[in-house]
Amino acid sequence: MKKIAVLMGGTSNERAVSLISGKNVAEALSSLGKYEVVPVDLKSDDLSALPDGIDAAYIALHGGWGENGGVQAALDARGIPYTGPGAMSSQMAMDKVKTKMILEMKGVPTAAWSLASPGTAASPLPLPVVVKPPCDGSSVGITKVSAADAWPSALEAALAAQGGGGEVLVEEFIPGRETTVGVIDGEALPAIEIVAKNGWYGYDEKYNSEETRYPFLADSADPKDAELEKRLQKVAVDAYRALGCRGVTRVDFRVSPMGRIYVLELNTSPGFTSHSLVPKAGMRTGLTFAEVCDRILKSARHD
């Protein structure tokens, strides 16, 4: 019987969510009856908690060292296959500026962007824009700027979220809808729309709001959404390939009122809580939660 470590917890600000993801994944894999499953709570940014004799690692860590290529490189060094993209792809996806450069280079659509740093007096792009720290992941420090007098505080909030200095990302605001497509092993799952109050999926909408809804595009009353879903799935796979991803990744989008698609970001270690979107989309294809986890586990590799 193969011995599978489910890595969870970690030191990022997404630790609490990761512990839930990890518990779900560990229970699901155990229920299949074909693996010896070892839950491993990582309390520091290293593999000291990992027991010997592990055949593969299921990464249920979110943010920080668990998603930025750190744990991936450590597992590469130990020769242990793991779920999700490799260290390089994870590192690139964690940095929205790097991601956008690669997407543009490969012809994958993403919103127009620029950079700002302490002292940048006005938005480098026409308003409205969104200002964000390039390397955070939970909407912290992200502000929409619609009027020029809101620029200084938005810049300050984004800089503060990354310790005060460096450069932050300024992006053209894309009005319209928000969607997400999970990709497993190069294959796109059904597209899900994120219908947040006021059309903004910020920190409160993610973690505090009960009002955000997640309908499948396939259930939409608008017949044009079937074609939109196909386009989203194609762009999701294009983005996944552009960054050299493998295993599981979730690609998030904005869709303009004209139907233009823009990749917002790639999440290389998406959530596995009971209401997370990749398991929900995987289950739409007829798999159980455990079978979705098993499919991801089977794609585990190391470099």
> Binding residues for ligand ADP, per CB under 6 A?
111, 130, 132, 136-139, 142, 171-174, 178, 200-202, 252, 254, 264-265
How far apart CA 164 and CA 253 sit, in angstroms, is: 28
207: annotated active-site residue: yes
Closest CA to 186 of 295, 102, 283: 295
Out of 207, 208, 209, 227, which one is annotated catalytic?
Answer: 207
List the alpha helices (DSSP H) in 176-269. Answer: 203-207, 224-242
Single out the catalytic residue among 21, 68, 90, 267.
267
Q: Which of 2, 53, 42, 37 is nearest to 19 (CA)?
A: 42
Shortest spacing between CB 192 and ligand ADP, in angstroms? 13
Residue 246 falls in the annotated catalytic set: no
Active site residue 46: no
Give the number of other CB atoms < 10 A from CB of residue 119. Answer: 6
Residue nearest to ligand ADP (CB): 201
Q: Which is nearer to ligand ADP, 152 or 199 (CB)?
A: 199
Cβ closest to ligand ADP, residue 112 vs residue 287: 112
| Minimum CB distance to ligand ADP smaller for 144 or for 302 | 144
CA distances in angstroms from 31 to 10, 25, 61, 83, 129, listed in the order given = 24, 10, 21, 19, 47
Tokens 């690609």 belong to which residue? 251
Shortest Å distance, C-beta 229 to ligand ADP: 19
Q: Give the number of other CB atoms < 10 A from CB of residue 273.
A: 16
Answer yes or no: are the C-beta atoms of 237 and 186 closer than 8 Å: yes
Residue placing its CB nearer to ligand ADP in the complex, 162 or 299? 162
267 counts as catalytic: yes
Active site residue 271: yes
Catalytic site residue from 178, 182, 265, 269? 265
Q: Closest distance between ligand ADP and the C-beta of residue 130, in Å?
A: 4
Choice between 84 and 202, CB closer to ligand ADP: 202
14 is catalytic: yes
Exactly one of 14, 178, 193, 229 is catalytic; name it. 14
Phi, psi of 183 (to 5 degrees): -125, 130
- Alpha carbon distance 50, 41 (integer Å): 9
Task: Clarify whether 138 is annotated catalytic.
Answer: yes
- Min dist CB 110 to ligand ADP, Å, is 9
> Tokens 């990582």 correspond to what residue?
42
What residues are labeled active site? 14, 138, 207, 250, 252, 265, 267, 271
